[in-house]
Amino acid sequence: MKKEGNYMKILEISEGKAYYNKLNERYSVIDITSEDIEELIKIVFVDEVEIDVLSEENAVNNPVEKIIYEQLSLELNKVIDKKESIIKEIDDEFKSASEKYTVKDEVVE
């Protein structure tokens, strides 16, 4: 994956084409699979990521690529925005389950 500063660029627009980056390789968004999307979500949770923004200067020429890129960008940005609250929710749930099911040492006299 491309690293821009301290960020990994997971979605990228270059020369009018839309790409996703995974395992240091760039792929067309047309070829993305559900497993690739799952991998991108995992990356969001372990790294700081960057997504290119669509604009007139940074456009995607193929309408199909553009739609796929827009939807990927929208959904991945939702995950990025909620990342901290999702992690906190998981941590709280784990803590609650851990407290509930931890066997406390009892002293027998």
Tens of pLDDT, residues 20-31: 998 889 999 999
Residue 49 to residue 92: CA distance in whole angstroms: 25
Domain ranges of the chain: 2-101
Supply the pLDDT for residue 107.
58
The answer, yes or no, to whether residue 16 has pLDDT greater than 90, is yes
Cβ 26 vs Cβ 19: under 8 Å: yes
Supply the pLDDT for residue 101.
81
The DSSP element (H or E) to which 99 belongs, if any, is helix 63-101
The answer, yes or no, to whether residue 5 has pLDDT greater than 80, is no
The pair phi, psi for residue 59, each rounded to 5°, is -100, 160
42-66 mean pLDDT: 94
Give the list of residues 6+ apart from residue 48 with CB closer than 8 angstroms, or none: 6, 7, 8
78-101 mean pLDDT: 86
The answer, yes or no, to whether residue 52 has pLDDT greater than 80, is yes
Task: Tell me the β-bridge partners of 4.
Answer: 7
Cβ 84 vs Cβ 90: under 8 Å: no
83-92 mean pLDDT: 86
